[in-house]
Amino acid sequence: MEMEKDPHDQTGSYVHAGEAFDRDMNYIPDRITSDGSSPWPVEAGRYRLAVSRACPWANRTIISRRLLGLEDAISMAIAGPTHDKRSWTFDLDPGGKDPVLGIERLQQAYFARYPDYPRGITVPAMVDVPTGGVVTNDFNRITLDFATQWTDFHREGAPDLYPEGQRGEIDELNHWVLHHVNNGVYKTGFAGSQETYEKAYTDLWESLDALEDRLSRSRYLMGPAITEADVRLFPTLVRFDPVYHSHFKANRQPLASMPNLWNYTKDLFQTPGFGDTVDFQHIKEHYYVVQTDLNPTQIVPLGPDTSIFLEPHDRDRFDTDTWGPGGTAPLPPKADEVVDPAHTPLHPTGR
């Protein structure tokens, strides 16, 4: 999703000597709405969600789309896990082109709308299929709009991920998690000095300790049911031991040694719509191959053993209403959106 100084952008340089990591948070602010408040109306089949399974910011949109049952209303373009200095590429598709947009690079969708687009070519992005132009890459808004603007196309039994009575608290928690955890791992990993690293490392672990304590009192972040807050935290946690612990030097301890956070992560991983969106091989290839500032050899580690994500958890000791009143689990992923069985422990051949 990132921009110029961002680890998922196309510049190829992430560490700046002597500087703290500074994420560019300026995104295309357009929204797709149902009330006529924008030039982009909610319309089934009109938009395509461009993602990479490697990117945590894109991962949250894949989860939200699955949980809400928006697969038939919003199609999905999946870029490969690595990219060059120009942009994410659709090298997983036959002929190296997205079959709907007909483009090789996500950059082409950005340039179709903004020929001189000056910022990073980021995922997730919503693309207008008729024009081939990007509508928005505002990751912070996309999932909220999935929950609130696309309700006419939600599946029967879709959970209310952004319940009106909890929105203020969810927004506050999401803002804190974004800056201290979701982005905290990047501040740690891309620190340009010992001083900025130690400051970011300390803040990250103080924040993880606070979440460890919070999750000692309820099954999910906001209580007995899954909400937008869980959708946003999970992609960071599921990447922590495979990538952030070593690659980003966030190595006080593995997440697997923290009882509440680890069992919470396993619980969500085993919940339909969460773990079945995770491609561990794509995740590792992206971080270890693209981020040559940190890994100049581009060697991708074989470990860790991700089968531990399928071990029993203890989260059912709490009051639970996972999908909320009247909610049900999502259907299995569409056949063409199933994660490669060799890349996930959800399949017996997965590592």
H or E element that contains 143 = helix 139-148
Would you please indicate which residues are annotated as catalytic (active-site) residues?
A: 55, 186
H or E element that contains 233 = helix 228-239
Q: CA-CA distance, 239 to 235, in Å (whole number)?
A: 6
Contact criterion met (CB below 8 Å) for 100 and 77:
yes
Q: Exposed (0-12), middle (13-18) or buried (19+): which is 17, by Cβ within 10 Å?
A: exposed
187 HSE (CA, 13 A, CB side): 21
Structure tokens at 123: 């995922």
H or E element that contains 167 = helix 167-177
Parallel, antiparallel or unpaired: strands 133-136 and 125-128: antiparallel
Q: Exposed (0-12), middle (13-18) or buried (19+): which is 73, by Cβ within 10 Å?
A: buried
Alpha-carbon distance values, 274 to 22, 139, 231, 270, 297 (Å): 29, 18, 8, 7, 32
Token match 């069985």: residue? 341
SS3 320: coil
SS3 287: helix
Cite the beta strand spans of the chain per DSSP E: 32-33, 40-41, 47-52, 75-79, 125-128, 133-136
